[in-house]
């Protein structure tokens, strides 16, 4: 089937991603609370949060190469199994080292699912649909990030923090398994000739030199690092400021709800402002809001800041996907997406570790100032991103301008 057409597969993918991401978003604060109950300090929390991204850091590019020359769908159930097992086993072990290991397995499962899913969206979407379809796809992530922390906050609390966090992790493992129910016949059969032969590999250096790919990777890394540290460290901030776990869960879910709202209006925002302005402005606003979390404000003001931050952070991920896909060589798009995810995981390893060091030396609010600086730098990178991919938001009847001999043909179709 040609790209575009029936989008029932996209709805099923969004549902599956919602369950998978919901499990991860429920498990990650639960891991932090369980580690605190087992005696972890801020530095140990940073190490465990970084372990989530360590295995994926080395696996992303090989998985992307495999997907460029084969099917995307097999990675989805494999990812669900690893997420489910990692969540459950993180709740059953009693050492911080073992928790870090199973947190890494959970991260590897999330990587498998995301590489397969993003490659599927890129392969089965027409160019003018990619911004919209990637935006809708990431709504699944935001739904999971909305529901997961609320569920974690509802289950965790009381005098037995270790026991309730274990229950939350087991529930997250069960929730992840539900994702398999909507993965049936999700990939369209493609002609064998449309796939690149296994020997024809585009060098990684050539992909990274493509204009737009490095910018997409860096912006995505900054935005995901902000989301990741919010998820891992807001519970710690809550403990220090006397905010109950249930309220922390609601705050994290409010941030996710604002991200969903952003992605629902992403296409009109692109038409109004353009890709470069939209990325730059939202990164700058996110930088200010992240730094503002370091200020000990009332819970109501914190909720307003997190809602605004969630809206701003909702722009970076889908637009960076489209930027990377459209900038990369056509026969290396899955590898380019995998490189973007490698950058994400590098940020997820380095940012929590750096946050742990900063928090240990300067207090638990200091990592949010660090995030503000990172997002400010990403705004400068966004200012230099190519605006051309924004043309993909145009409808099919109004294709992007062509150069050379094709231009005349486009103006005078046969």
Cβ proximity of 292 and 371 under 8 Å: no
Helix (H, G, I), strand (E, B) or coil at 365: coil
Cα atoms in the Cβ-side hemisphere of radius 13 Å centred on 242 = 3
Q: Which of 248, 253, 388, 252 is nearest to 326 (CA)?
A: 388
Give the CA radius of gyration of the chain.
21
- Crossing angle of helices 130-155/266-273, nearest 10°? 130
Query: What pLDDT does 353 receive?
Result: 67
pLDDT by residue (tens digit) across 105-150? 998 999 899 888 888 888 887 777 777 888 888 888 878 877 888 8
Enter the tokens of residue 137: 């796809």
Are the C-beta atoms of residues 75 and 116 closer than 8 Å to each other?
A: yes
User: Following DSSP, what letter does each residue of 168-182 receive, concatenated?
Assistant: HHHHHHHHHHGGGGG
What are the backbone angles phi and psi of residue 400, rounded to the nearest 5°?
-60, 150
Q: How far apart are CA 261 and CA 257, in angstroms?
A: 6
Tokens 């929390």, located at residue: 45
Q: Where are the domains of the chain?
A: 8-184+205-393
Architecture of domain 8-184+205-393: Up-down Bundle (1.20)
- What pTM, to 2 d.p., does this model score? 0.70
Using CA atoms, how far residue 24 sits from 83, 170, 345, in Å, is: 7, 11, 15
248, 374 contact by CB (below 8 A): no
- 218 touches 343 (CB < 8 A): yes
Rounded to an integer, what distance in angstroms lies between the CA atom of residue 116 and that of residue 238? 35
User: What are the tokens at 128?
Assistant: 């003018």
Mean pLDDT of successive 10-residue segments in the chain (414 residues)?
Answer: 62 91 90 86 78 78 76 85 93 88 91 88 79 82 82 83 90 92 75 48 78 82 82 79 84 86 87 84 90 84 91 86 78 81 76 67 71 84 60 43 46 45
Q: In sequence order, what are the residues at sequence separation of 6 or more whose Cβ sits closer than 8 angstroms to the Cβ of residue 127?
A: 3, 326, 392, 400
* pLDDT for the residue numbered 7: 66
Nearest residue to 299 (alpha-carbon basis) of 351, 258, 347, 241: 241
Distance CA 282, CA 276 (A): 10
Give φ, ψ of 168 to 5 degrees. Answer: -65, -40
- Collapsing DSSP to helix, strand or coil, 65 comes out as helix
pLDDT for position 256 = 81
209-253 confidence digits (pLDDT tens): 777 788 888 888 888 888 877 877 788 778 888 888 888 888 888
Contact present, 173 and 19 (Cβ < 8 Å): no
Helix (H) / strand (E) containing 217: helix 213-241
Angle at 274 between CA 269 and CA 279, to 5 degrees: 80
Task: Choose among 2, 24, 16: nearest CA to 186.
Answer: 16
The Cα 148–Cα 298 span in angstroms is 24
What is residue 364's predicted lDDT score, i.e. its pLDDT?
A: 67
- DSSP designation for 263: H
- pLDDT at position 309: 92
How would you class 189 by CB atoms within 10 Å of its CB: exposed for 0-12, middle for 13-18, buried for 19 or more?
exposed
């Amino acid at each position: 089937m040609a790209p575009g057409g029936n989008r029932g597969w996209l709805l099923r993918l969004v549902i599956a991603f919602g369950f998978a991401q919901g499990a991860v978003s429920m498990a990650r604060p639960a891991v932090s609370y369980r580690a605190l109950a087992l005696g972890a300090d801020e530095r140990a929390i940073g190490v465990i949060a970084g372990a989530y991204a360590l295995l994926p850091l080395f696996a992303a590019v090989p998985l992307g190469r495999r997907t460029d020359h084969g099917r995307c769908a097999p990675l989805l159930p494999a990812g669900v199994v690893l997420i489910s097992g990692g969540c459950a086993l993180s709740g059953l072990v009693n050492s911080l080292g073992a928790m870090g290991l199973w947190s890494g397995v959970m991260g590897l499962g999330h990587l498998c699912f995301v590489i397969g899913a993003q490659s599927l969206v890129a392969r089965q979407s027409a160019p003018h649909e990619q911004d919209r379809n990637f935006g809708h796809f990431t709504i699944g992530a935001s739904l999971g990030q909305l529901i997961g922390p609320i569920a974690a906050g509802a289950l965790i609390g009381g005098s037995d923090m270790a026991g309730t966090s274990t229950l939350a992790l087991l529930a997250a493992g069960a929730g992840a398994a539900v994702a398999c129910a909507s993965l049936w016949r999700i990939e369209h059969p493609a002609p064998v000739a449309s796939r690149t032969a296994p020997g024809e590999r585009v060098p990684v250096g050539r992909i990274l030199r493509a204009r737009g790919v490095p910018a997409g990777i860096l912006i995505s890394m900054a935005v995901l690092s902000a989301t990741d540290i919010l998820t891992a460290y807001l519970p710690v901030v809550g403990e220090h400021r006397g905010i109950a776990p249930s309220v922390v869960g609601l705050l994290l879910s409010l941030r996710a709800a604002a991200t969903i709202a952003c992605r629902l209006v992403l296409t009109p925002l692109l038409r109004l402002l353009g890709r470069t302005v939209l990325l730059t402005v939202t990164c700058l606003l996110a930088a200010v809001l992240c730094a503002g979390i370091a200020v000990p404000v009332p819970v109501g003001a914190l909720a307003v800041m997190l809602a605004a931050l969630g809206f701003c952070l909702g722009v970076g991920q889908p637009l960076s996907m489209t930027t990377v896909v459209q900038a990369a060589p056509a026969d290396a798009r899955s590898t380019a997406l995998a490189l973007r995810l490698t950058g994400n995981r590098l940020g997820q390893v380095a940012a929590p570790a750096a946050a742990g060091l900063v928090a240990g030396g300067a207090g638990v609010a200091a990592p949010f100032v660090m995030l503000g600086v990172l997002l400010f730098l990403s705004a400068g990178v966004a200012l230099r991103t190519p605006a051309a991919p924004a043309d993909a938001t145009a409808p099919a009847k109004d294709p992007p301008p062509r150069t050379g001999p094709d231009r005349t043909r486009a103006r005078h179709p046969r």
